[in-house]
């Protein structure tokens, strides 16, 4: 194969598009890495730019209708960022609409280079990148899309585009995987490296194919006919055994988590014990929730769904999946489960525990893989519902498939959680709570304190307490019991945080930066692993990316509020709405917070981190979709109501 890299519409005007996912800075950084790799390998680079000339107006109709002028020749917005700018020998192809091939120079240039393959990067995936892919296919080019180097401001449309193009032989893969395939090296597995020592490969997770998924779902579907006939009491007994085995194995699971995902052992033990408590709570509730309810005209009863597809995250590799598997089984369903790649080995261990506790081997099926495996599960005709914990991008991808199939979906999609600290609070206590909530487990919890909003009248005093509290948290080897802050999951996650902070600092958005544990940040053990230095940043620009981003890393943003109305506006001013917390005993303030805070979970005088498994767990806005997890939410999702007439008196 001889390839060319097509960089589509990576121009400043397009990069300024609101709600771009991923954000423009991340897109540019990832595209720059791809561009450098291609240049090093001698792969031809072609820059495709939209070019508007005011003297010869050939804008698309929707631009004219909106009186929109973008990418006008000679303006700063027409050019690409400096790091993506064409160098000598690279071609720029100009277009006026969606289709780069409308300019005949593009195909002629590709043919003159002898290319049979194109690699696409840029924006928007749902529009100009899609058009470039389709037009390339029509000309018999093989098409790769560098999936981390494309973006869109219409994420559901983009997810549909990815699925649609994938079904038409367009390959979506990471930049490194694309280049490996150009060398004839097939990427058949996912490599997971130790977060503690990133040079060490721990394991490779095979990627289940569509055929593997179909076979697993068929097995679970067949098992459902038997599992459905088991009594509720027998399911409760099995759940009790699972909970007991989890409690007994907490230390062992925790050590494996520390080794494979860098989770400090103290947090791993707490996670497994919380998972056991969750299983016991499910068992306690299920019988009452399945009792038919008599009404005047008949009965209302709740029936199981069938095969439930479960897609779980890596950061709570026991608690998240068991919090889905236990209620699925309890309410009479069977399961096909795909864990995040980094959690593959822990998932296998958990699966063994489930089977050893009395669940038949075919009732819970495990599939390893990436996002494509998850999509195959959601698309399988015998899957009756999907529950997902993951990123917003993953949520959009599965939402698009479930919407097409009219399939129940429960999605927990992380949070950008704020704690409001008001003037009557005990600042030392609050600082300890928030520092722990922000930095423990390196901030890799969807419930973590991402932001803290502080009254301007006590801002400096609280910041000093916060810095001291953060310095007291042990940062180190996750296998050691005192450690609170370990590594992040990968070097790319570590680098994403560094890049975000550097960009915010260079833009002048930050009033102050506090880098915690400065004295040990450059020691050999931190440099050998994916250790992200904990950082506190003060930012007074509520729309800046560093405020709006959900980082899943040890980064805490401190915002200044002039009054409590301003504090609530800052709290609510992000797309997420999982958890909000207030530190105050003022009744008027607490009442206003209760009435106006936009989150699925409200907490008082406590960090946002951590929840009780007996209460529903679900967010508002972009944090969740569908019924909440846990507590009364389980019966809402894992069963469907059925009205039966004529039996009210029978």
Q: Which residue has the tokens 């010869």?
A: 56
Quick one: CATH architecture of 207-413+628-642?
A: 3-Layer(aba) Sandwich (3.40)
Identify the band that residue 1 occupies on the pLDDT scale cut at 50, 70 and 90: confident
Identify which of 553, 537, 467, 551 has the alpha carbon closest to the alpha carbon of residue 504: 537
Give the model's pLDDT for residue 565: 97
Give the model's pLDDT for residue 510: 94
3-186: CATH topology is: Rossmann fold (3.40.50)
> Which residues on adjacent β-strands are paired with residue 339?
312
Give the model's pLDDT for residue 582: 98
Q: Which residue has the tokens 């690279």?
A: 90
* Residue 9: pLDDT over 90: yes
- Could you tell me where the DSSP H helices lie in 336-426? 344-356, 371-379, 392-405
Examine residue 226 and say whether the peptide bond preceding it is cis (omega within 30 degrees of 0).
no
- 3-class secondary structure, 543: coil
Whole-number CA gyration radius for the chain: 26
Phi/psi at 312 (nearest 5 deg)? -120, 160
Give the model's pLDDT for residue 649: 52
- Burial of 485-497, coded b for 16+ CB within 10 Å and e otherwise, reads bbbbbbbebbebb
Identify the band that residue 650 occupies on the pLDDT scale cut at 50, 70 and 90: very low
How high does pLDDT run on average in the chain?
95
For the CA atoms of 90, 93, 99, 101, the dihedral, rounded to the nearest 10 degrees, stands at: -80
Residues 313-324: pLDDT tens digits? 999 999 999 999
Strands (E) across 198-353 are located at 201-206, 293-295, 298-304, 307-312, 334-339
Residues 134-150: pLDDT tens digits? 999 999 999 999 999 99
CA distance 554 to 443: 5
Identify the band that residue 97 occupies on the pLDDT scale cut at 50, 70 and 90: very high
* Residue 492: pLDDT over 70: yes
Rounded to the nearest 10 degrees, the angle between the axes of helix 344-356 and helix 319-330 is 40
- 3-class secondary structure, 20: coil
Residues 278-334: pLDDT tens digits? 999 999 999 999 999 999 899 999 999 999 999 999 999 999 999 999 999 999 999
The sheet that has 293-295: what strands, in order across it? 293-295, 298-304, 639-645
- Strands 201-206, 417-421: pairing is unpaired
Phi/psi at 217 (nearest 5 deg)? -65, -40
CA distance 434 to 426: 12
Identify the band that residue 183 occupies on the pLDDT scale cut at 50, 70 and 90: confident
Task: Give Cα 551 distance to the centre of its chain.
Answer: 10
Structure tokens belonging to residue 521? 């940040």
* Residue 365: pLDDT over 60: yes
Domain boundaries, the chain: 3-186, 207-413+628-642, 417-616
Give the model's pLDDT for residue 349: 98
- 3-class secondary structure, 300: strand
Contact between 619 and 579 (Cβ < 8 Å) = yes
The fourth-level CATH superfamily of domain 417-616 is Aldehyde Dehydrogenase; Chain A, domain 2 (3.40.309.10)
Q: Give the chain's largest Cα–Cα span.
A: 85
Identify the band that residue 63 occupies on the pLDDT scale cut at 50, 70 and 90: very high
Residues 581-627: pLDDT tens digits? 999 999 999 999 999 999 999 999 999 999 999 999 999 999 999 99
* Residue 184: pLDDT over 90: no
Give the model's pLDDT for residue 186: 65
Phi/psi at 223 (nearest 5 deg)? -65, -30
Contact between 239 and 283 (Cβ < 8 Å) = yes
Contact between 493 and 553 (Cβ < 8 Å) = yes
98 burial type by CB count under 10 A (0-12 exposed, 13-18 middle, 19+ buried):
middle
CA distance 396 to 388: 11
Residues 405-437: pLDDT tens digits? 999 999 999 899 999 999 999 999 999 999 999
The stretch 536-561 carries a mean pLDDT of 95
Strands (E) across 197-313 are located at 201-206, 293-295, 298-304, 307-312
CA distance 369 to 392: 19
Contact between 98 and 161 (Cβ < 8 Å) = no
Identify which of 106, 365, 47, 351 has the alpha carbon closest to the alpha carbon of residue 217: 365
Percent of all residues in the chain with a pLDDT value above 90, rounded to a whole number? 93
CA distance 437 to 42: 47
């Amino acid at each position: 194969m001889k390839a060319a890299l097509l960089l589509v519409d990576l121009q400043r005007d397009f990069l300024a598009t609101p709600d771009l996912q991923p954000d423009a800075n991340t897109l540019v950084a990832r595209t720059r890495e791809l561009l450098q790799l291609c240049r090093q390998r001698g792969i031809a680079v072609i820059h495709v730019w939209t070019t508007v000339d005011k003297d010869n107006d050939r804008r698309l109709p929707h631009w004219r209708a909106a009186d929109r002028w973008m990418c006008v020749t000679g303006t700063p917005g027409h050019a690409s960022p400096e790091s993506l700018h064409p160098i000598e020998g690279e071609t720029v192809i100009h277009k006026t609409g969606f289709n780069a091939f409308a300019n005949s120079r593009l195909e002629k240039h590709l043919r003159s280079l002898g290319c049979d393959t194109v690699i696409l990067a840029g924006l928007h995936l749902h529009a100009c990148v899609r058009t470039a892919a389709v037009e390339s296919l029509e000309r018999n080019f093989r098409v790769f899309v560098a999936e981390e180097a494309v973006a869109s401001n219409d994420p559901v449309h983009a997810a549909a585009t990815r699925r649609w193009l994938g079904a038409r032989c367009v390959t979506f893969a990471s930049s490194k995987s694309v280049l490996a395939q150009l060398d004839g090296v097939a990427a058949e597995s996912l490599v997971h490296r130790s977060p503690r020592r990133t040079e060490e490969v721990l394991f490779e997770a095979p990627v289940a194919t569509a055929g593997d998924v179909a076979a697993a779902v068929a097995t679970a579907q067949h098992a459902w006919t038997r599992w459905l006939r088991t009594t509720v009491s027998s399911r409760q007994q099995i759940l009790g055994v699972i909970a007991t085995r989890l409690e007994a194995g907490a230390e062992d699971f925790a050590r494996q988590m520390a080794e494979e995902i860098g989770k400090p052992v103290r947090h791993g033990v707490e996670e497994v014990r919380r998972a056991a408590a969750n299983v016991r709570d499910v068992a306690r509730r299920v019988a009452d929730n399945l009792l038919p309810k008599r009404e005047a005209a008949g009965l209302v009863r709740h029936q199981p769904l069938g095969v439930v597809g479960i897609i779980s995250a890596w950061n709570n590799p026991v608690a998240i999946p068991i919090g889905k598997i236990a209620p699925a089984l309890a309410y009479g369903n069977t399961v096909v489960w795909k864990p995040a790649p980094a959690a593959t080995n822990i998932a296998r261990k958990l699966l063994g525990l489930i089977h050893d506790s009395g669940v038949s081997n075919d009732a819970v099926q495990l599939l390893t893989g990436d996002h494509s495996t998850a999509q195959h599960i959601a698309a399988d005709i015998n899957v009756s519902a999907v529950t997902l914990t993951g990123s917003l991008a993953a949520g959009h991808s599965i939402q698009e498939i479930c919407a097409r199939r009219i399939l129940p979906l429960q999605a927990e999609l992380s949070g950008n959680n704020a704690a409001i600290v008001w003037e009557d609070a005990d600042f030392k206590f609050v600082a300890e709570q928030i520092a722990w909530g922000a930095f423990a487990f390196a901030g890799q919890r969807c419930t973590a304190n991402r932001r803290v909003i502080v009254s301007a009248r006590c801002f400096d005093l609280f910041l000093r307490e916060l810095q001291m509290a953060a310095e007291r948290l042990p940062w180190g080897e996750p296998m050691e019991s005192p450690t609170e802050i370990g590594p992040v999951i990968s070097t790319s996650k570590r680098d994403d945080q560094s890049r975000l902070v550097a960009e915010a600092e260079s833009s002048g958005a930050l009033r102050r930066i506090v880098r915690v544990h400065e004295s040990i940040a450059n020691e050999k053990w931190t440099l050998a692993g994916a250790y992200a230095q904990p950082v506190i940043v003060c930012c007074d620009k509520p729309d800046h990316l560093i405020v709006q981003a959900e980082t899943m890393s040890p980064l805490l943003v401190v915002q200044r509020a002039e009054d409590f109305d301003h504090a609530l506006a800052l709290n609510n001013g992000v797309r997420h709405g999982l958890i909000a917390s207030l530190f105050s005993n003022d009744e008027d303030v607490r009442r206003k917070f209760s009435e106006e805070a936009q989150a699925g979970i409200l907490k008082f005088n406590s960090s946002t981190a951590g929840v009780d498994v007996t209460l529903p767990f679900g967010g508002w806005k972009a944090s969740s979709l569908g019924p909440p997890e846990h507590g009364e939410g389980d019966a809402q999702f894992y069963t469907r109501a059925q009205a039966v007439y004529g039996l009210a008196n029978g």
